Structure formats: structure tokens, C-alpha cells
Amino acid sequence: MNKKRVNINRGAGVLFLIFGLLFFIIIVRFFTIQVSGKVDGVDLAAKAAKQYLQMDKIKANRGTIYDDKGEIIAEDTASYTLGAILDKKMTTDPKHPHHVVDPQMTAEKLSQYIDMPEEDIYKRLTKKGPFQVEFGKAGNDISLETKKKIEALKLPGIIFIPGSKRFYPNGIFASHLIGYVSQKNPDDPNTKMVGKMGLEQSFDKYLQGTDGKVSFEGDLWGYLLPGAKKKVQAPKNGDNIYLTIDKKIQIFIEDALSKVEEKYKPKNMIAIVADPKTGKILGMGQRPTFDPMTRDGIEKAWSNQAVETSYEPGSVMKIFTLAAAVQQGVFNPNAQYKSGTFYVKGVPNPIRDWNYGAGWGTITFLQGLQRSSNVAFATLLDKIGQDTFRTYLDRFHFGQPTNIGLPNEASGKILYNWPIERYTTTFGQGTTVTGVQMIQAATAIANNGKMMKPYVVDKIVDPNNGEVKKTKPEIVGNPVSAATAKQVRNYLRTVVTAKDGTGKLYEIPGYDVTGKTGTAQIPGPDGKYLKGYDDYIFSFLGMAPKDDPKLIVYVAVQQPQLDEKNYESGSVPVQMIFNPVMKNSLQYLNIKPAKMTANKVAKVPNVTNMNTSDAQQKLKDTGLQVVVLGKGTNIVGQLPAKGTVLIQGEKIFLKTDNNPSVPNMTNWSKRDVMNVAKVLDLKLNMIGDGYVWKQNITPNSPIQKGDLLVVNLLPMDKLMEKQAKKTSQENKNKQNQNKQDSSENSVSPPLD
């Protein structure tokens, strides 16, 4: 018994020692922590403070983009992300719940304000486990107005996470030039916005701001604790960018492009307006395009075609070949050459003029320019010299990016290895360019030899300190002299004014437009050029007014759906863009048209019953063009009648008393045909519109009163093309040459 008690006492003693030791350790630990304030080297006060310390980000505003007049093109606006708290622990007072109490009612109310079915909202609000849910795309970018309406419902647990979105108030407006922004992480609406295209991308480092932050001691729900202080680090907003783009001119471009897109549905189009004195781009548009707010249409065109796409320019390139020839002193406008075909040494197939090699016989080089003869420019290369011409291509900076300040700029490629490539480059085949390269090169012609670098950003302004970074106009070359540039503009003016000029459609009364047309072939997947009726890039590069150009406008339209049955020209959709954009822009800039020279007029005298010879002489003295219908010696009828006022050079028709006949009316206008039919008492049937292509009555054959006169009419450019084809076919038949072989010729020039 005593032994048992001794063992119990020993055990109790051991336990007492153990618990005493543990208690001692705890007391020592307690005092150590109390004195040092640390556990395992961790500062407990700091850790406690951190537990209650709240940190909020203050988002910086992305810089605003303005046009040259200070009107907003892109800016940040407030937006909110809709969220719902599901965790019941967030509610400490049942009378004031902080979580979603009634999912069914909440879903029903929210479905009226966000684009999500009620049942889908309900599913999200009844998920098990998550502390908080959001509503995907339907709950992002909530406007302030919608936020206020939802808040007025006083739905427990519904919260709004503040943010911002990019707003483009003009909709489709130079979209590829301006670009767009999106979240760096699309799955997290709280991540930073970054530029994805255009200026938004290339100037992202300027537009991006630096976020600020605010720190304070708060409770579990983020409320400021009593007596706590906030520490605020202010955000640095992004720089504001002012463009060279003029909103009015850009609207002119967008409107014109939209009209052509609707009517002709081309695959691609670009239009650029520039100030040749500075290099400022005043407008730049394209089709297809997209809405930067919604991204609608962006899948059709991911690139800025005027900057990122290179292509064969066609005969617009002749502007710069002409400039090289004039600068070298080898362009004699009155010298003659044989048009039609040109053989390059060692190459079996010739270079042909666009009318299938028919040409126009022996004509002057100025006429070759006006008719856009490829043979004329191939011939000029021999006068300029191949190596010399290559240096001019470098002087005009072809094959080099312009560094306009937009992303992914293409450089184009000068194809100049083989002799045939050197000749075809003179008229824009083989060698590739970009739209902005054409603008840059054209500034040298418009600006008296000084070639200006194109640019789209006028200045960058730091809103935090007012610092301004201004872009200064930059001369990047002097490829030709002022005298050469002026002379080239004079020659190019005749492309628009000459009777056979390919640019007649681009005349704008009062503004002396000068420029050059282009019809470039398009390489197909097999490397051969496409051969469809409208498988071309139709273009025009023009400037006005000629003597002191204020604007350069370049338009290119790829593969418009033309009316082949009626021989519709590819110049028509280009004109629908160029003419209104150039005219409206000049007028908007208050560039007044030149005074129009008054046409000399003549009052038609009465020559009825006069001798034919005397009547002809009397009318010629008034400056009228006399057409005698018949072989008689006396005049028995005239049209227009006496007293009519005509412009000198207009036709007057005289019917004779013997063997009246119909003349050859090819190329005549509809009005002249009507006068012939009326004065000869013929029945008239006109088919088509434009100028005479065919007539049913053989010229100068006898006719009777009441005979039927049938004429087929075509637009002038198509008439010229038909005539050229006819002449070409006759020549080919004589030479036993297959027309199909000609159309597949690898050096066959563009139809221009």
C-alpha cells in the first residue's frame, strides 16, 4: 500500500515538473514577445497593421486624341463592371444586407438593364462557393446612366467596380489610322488598356498613364477605421495627342468612300489627302473599315492599306519617270516616237501600249503622256539611262518606309534586276509602292522640288505639366529642281485637259487639277496577272491648283464591280471619290477658284439659199466648224438656225440641194447626231449613251427623207478602247498574231 502511494507521488511530481516547465516557457515567451514585439523575426505590429491596411488603385486616364482643330477623336469615359456578392458573411446587420438575399427577384430586375437572360443571371446568383460573381460581357462597360438606374432599385449585394473605356465619338472615322484599344487581359476587365492598331498602338507609350494609389487602415469590408489617415499617390494621366487630320476633310473622304462602296463593292479602296507644303496628312480612309467602338467589320481588314500594303501602282508611276526625264533634259514634248510596241533587247515579247499594242501611230511624247503610252516611257528610259533612273527611284524614296509614325509600315520593293523589269518600272509594273510613299514622292512635284516627310501627329501635350512636343515639317529630299517640278505640273495638266487625255474625268472647273491616272494589273495566286474586266487597281494622283498646289489627293480603287455590258470605266468610281474630296476640301480651306476665261461665242448668220462655198467661208469667219451634208452647190437648210449663239468651234450643219448624205459621225456627240437627223429629215434611234461608235448608214452615201438613222453610243474612254482593240485586231490579223498570246504576255502593260 505504501509502495503504491510512493509511486503515485513520484508520478505527480514528474507531472508537476513538466507542467511547471511548460508554464515557465510560456511566461518567458510572453514577456519576450511583449518586450520585443516580434515572433520569429516578424514584427507583430506591422503584421497587424497590414491586416487592416487597405490599398486601392487610382487609375490614370489614357491620353485623349484630338484632330487638328482640337475636336475629340478618342477619349476615356467612365464605365463600370457589374458584380454581385454571394457570401452571407458579408452581412452583419440583417436589416442592411450586403449580399444577394433574393436571387430570383434580383435576376428579374437586372435582366431589364443588361443583355443577359433572366435564367442565366439567376444561375450566376445561385452558385455555391464563390464570394462574388460578375456577368461577363453583359456586365462590362456599364454606363453611368445605367448604373444610376440599377442603383435606384436598391438591390442588396449588387456592386459596381469603377473603370473606364475608350470612346470614339465619330464612329467610323479614319479607323485604321486611329486604331483601337482593348484590355491587356481580356478575361480581366481591371487590367490596363493597350493600343492594338494605328496611333493607339504606335503611340501607346505616350497615351498610357501611370496609375496612382491610395492606402488606409480599414475594416473587413474596406471602410476607413476611425482616426485612420489616407495616403494618396496621385496618378499621372497619359499624354494628349493632336493630329494633323482635319475632321471636315476626313468626313469628305468617308462619305465619298461609302458611296462608292455601296454602288461598286470594290475589294479595297484608299483615299489620302495631304498638304504638300508640310507633309501633313489631312485625311486618310479606306474600305473595308470597322467601327472602333464595337469592332464591327474588323475581320474584313486588319491592316491600314495606305501604310501596310504594297502594290503595283500602274501608270501613276509615270509622274516620277517624267520628272526624271525633265530633270535630265531628255523630255522633248514635241519630239515624236512610234507608239504601239517596244522591244527590249533579248526579250522576245514586246512591251505594248494599253490598247493591245495598236498604239496611235507616230505621235509626240506629250501626246504619249496624255494617252498614257507605256511605249513612250519605255523609250524615255533609254534617254534617261537605266542606272540614272535607278538613282531617281532612290531620290523619291521608293523602296523605303516613310516613317510616318504608324505601325507595320511596308517599304515596297523596287524590281530592277533584269532589263525588262527596269523598263516596266517606268510605267508602274513589277515594282511595288505604298499609298503614303506615293504621297511623299508627289510632294516633291507639288512643292517645287522639296520632298516632305508625311506625318499624322502634330503635337503631343503632357496634361500634367503642359509640356509640348511639336512635330516640325521635315524636308527628306530634293529629287528634282523647282523648275522641273513646275514643268512636270504643266505637262500633267494636259492629261486632264487634252482631248485624248486619260484624266479628263478629273477636271474640276476653276481649280486647274493636274495629275496622272493609273490602271494597274493585279498578280493572281499563280503569279500571272488577273484578266477579268475589272481586275485592276484604278487610281488617280492629283494636285490643285496647278501653279501653287495646296492639296494632294490620291485615290486607288481595287476591283470595283463595273457594268461590263455598258463598258463602264474604272475611272468612274475613282472620280466619285477624287472630285468631291478635292473640290470640297479646297472650298473648305477657302481656296477660291480661279476666274474662268470666258468662251468666245458666235451668232449664227443665215446662209440658206447661198452658194455652198460662200456659205462655208462666211461661217468659218465666225469661228464655227462647218459640216456640209451633200454635194450640191446651194444651201437649202441649216442647223442651228440663224440667230443661235454658239461657242466658237461648235459644229453647224448645212444641207445642200443635191445628194444629201450622212457624214462619218464616229466620236460625235449626241447633240450633233440629233442636229444631223433633224436637218436631213431622218428618223433617229440612238442606242446607249456618250459618243458615236457605230452608225447604220454608210458615210457619204445618198439618203432619202424619212430614212432610219441608228447610232450606237459609248462613253469616250470605252470608245477609245474599242477603237484601239479594232485597230489592234487588224494589225494582228496582218501579222498572224494570236490575241490570246498577247493578253497572257508577262510584260503586258496595264490598261491605262
Going by pLDDT thresholds of 50, 70 and 90, the confidence category of residue 671 is confident
Write down the pTM of the prediction. Answer: 0.75
Contacts of 496 (CB under 8 A, 6+ apart): 503, 504, 506, 507, 513, 514, 515, 542
Tell me the C-alpha distance between 602 and 542, whole Å. Answer: 35
Three cell numbers, residue 665: 459621225
d(CA 669, CA 301): 43
pLDDT tens, position by position, 636-660: 888 888 887 777 777 888 888 888 8
Assigned C-alpha cell, 328: 535630265
Give the model's confidence band at 53: pLDDT under 50 very low, under 70 low, under 90 confident, else very high.
Answer: very low
Least confident of 315-324, 555-564, 716-725: 716-725
Question: Residue 106 burial by CB count (10 A; 0-12/13-18/19+): exposed, middle or buried?
Answer: buried
pLDDT tens, residue by residue, 145-190 = 898 999 999 999 999 888 778 899 999 999 999 999 987 766 555 6
Write down the residue that cell numbers 494589225 correspond to. 731
Cell numbers 462608292: residue? 260
Top-confidence residue, 595 or 240: 240
pLDDT score of 49: 45
Banded pLDDT at 32 (limits 50, 70, 90): low
Cα–Cα distance for residue pair 530/528, rounded to 1 Å: 6
Q: What is the mean pLDDT of the chain?
A: 86
* Greatest Cα-to-Cα distance within the chain, rounded to the nearest angstrom: 174
C-alpha cell at 252: 469628305
CB contact at 8 A, 436 and 272: yes
From 175, 202, 310, 315, the catalytic residue: 315
The neighbour count for residue 5, using CB atoms within 10 Å, is 9
Q: Where are the alpha helices (DSSP H) in 551-679?
A: 571-588, 612-621, 670-679
Decide which of 3.40.228.10, 3.30.70.20, 3.30.70.2110, 2.40.360.20 is the CATH code for 55-173+208-242: 3.30.70.2110
List of long-range contacts for 389-392, beta carbons under 8 Å, 24+ apart? 389/321, 389/324, 389/422, 389/425, 389/426, 390/414, 390/416, 390/422, 392/320, 392/323, 392/324, 392/327, 392/479
Starting at the edge strand found earlier in the chain, the sheet holding 53-58 runs 53-58, 212-217, 231-233
More confident residue, 474 or 665: 474
C-alpha Rg value of the chain to the nearest Å? 40
Per DSSP, 141 falls in state S
Which residues on adjacent β-strands are paired with residue 162? Answer: 80
- How many CA atoms lie within 13 Å of 8's alpha carbon, on the beta-carbon side? 5
Cα 719 to its chain centre, rounded Å, is 32
pLDDT at 586: 96
In the predicted structure, residue 3 carries a pLDDT above the cut 60:
no
Q: Which of 500, 485, 486 is nearest to 364 (CA)?
A: 500
Report the C-alpha gap between 429 and 570 in whole angstroms: 18
Residue with cell 448668220: 605
pLDDT given at position 56: 62
Q: Which residue has the higher pLDDT, 405 or 742?
A: 405
* Average pLDDT of span 85-90: 86
> How far is Cα 567 from Cα 560, in angstroms, rounded to an integer?
13
Torsion of CA 91, 97, 103, 107, to 10 degrees: -130
Grid cell, residue 476, equals 527628306
Domain regions of the chain by residue span: 2-53, 55-173+208-242, 247-588, 601-731
Per-residue b or e along 595-615, where b marks 16 or more CB atoms closer than 10 Å to that residue's CB: eeeeeeebebbebeebebeeb
Instruction: Quote the percentage of the chain above a pLDDT of 90.
Output: 53
Which sign does the torsion angle of CA 722, 728, 731, 732 carry?
A: negative
**Greater pLDDT, 89 or 46:** 89
Distance between CA 405 and CA 729 in Å, rounded? 50
Closest CA to 239 of 61, 481, 16, 17: 61
Residues 674, 675, 678, CA angle at the centre, nearest 5°? 85
Residue 615: what pLDDT?
83
Beta-ladder partners of 656: 635
Q: pLDDT tens digits, residue range 594-624?
A: 765 555 667 888 888 888 888 888 888 887 8
For residue 324, the model assigns a pLDDT of: 96
Confidence of residue 488 (pLDDT cuts 50, 70, 90): very high
In whole angstroms, give the CA distance from residue 183 to residue 81.
13
d(CA 83, CA 340): 75
> Among candidates 353, 379, 351, which has minimal Cα distance to 365?
379
The predicted pLDDT at position 139 comes to 86
Q: Which residues contact 459 (CB under 8 A, 6 or more apart)?
A: 241, 242, 468, 469, 470, 471
* Confidence bin at 228 (pLDDT 50/70/90): low
The better pLDDT of the pair 576, 733 is held by 576
Residue 171: CB atoms within 10 Å: 11
pLDDT of 678-698, one tens digit each? 888 888 888 877 778 888 988
Q: Average of pLDDT values for 64-77? A: 94
pLDDT at 50 over 60: no
User: Domain spanning 247-588: which superfamily?
Assistant: DD-peptidase/beta-lactamase superfamily (3.40.710.10)
Residue 261 has pLDDT above 90, yes or no: yes
Q: pLDDT class for 142, splitting at 50, 70, 90?
A: confident
**8 A C-beta contact, residue 739 and residue 356:** yes
Burial class (CB in 10 A: 0-12, 13-18, 19+), 127: exposed
Residue 47 has pLDDT above 60, yes or no: no
Is it the case that residue 746 has pLDDT exceeding 50? Answer: no
368-424 pLDDT, tens digit per residue, is 999 999 999 999 999 999 999 999 999 999 999 999 999 999 999 999 999 999 999
239 has pLDDT over 80: yes
pLDDT at 227 over 80: no
Amino acid in the structure at residue 440: Q
Helix, strand or coil, per DSSP, at residue 618: helix
Polymer length in residues for the chain: 752
Residue 554 and residue 241 in contact, taking contact as beta carbons nearer than 8 Å: no
- Model confidence at 67: pLDDT above 90: yes
Q: What is the CATH number of domain 601-731?
A: 3.30.10.20
Residue 289 vs residue 634, higher pLDDT: 289
Report the distance separating Cα 198 and Cα 457, nearest Å. 12
The dihedral sign for the CA sequence 213, 215, 219, 225: negative
Beta strands 65-66 and 240-243, pairing class: parallel
Q: Are 76 and 164 in contact (CB under 8 A)?
A: yes
pLDDT for the residue numbered 226? 56
743 an active-site residue?
no
More confident residue, 39 or 316: 316
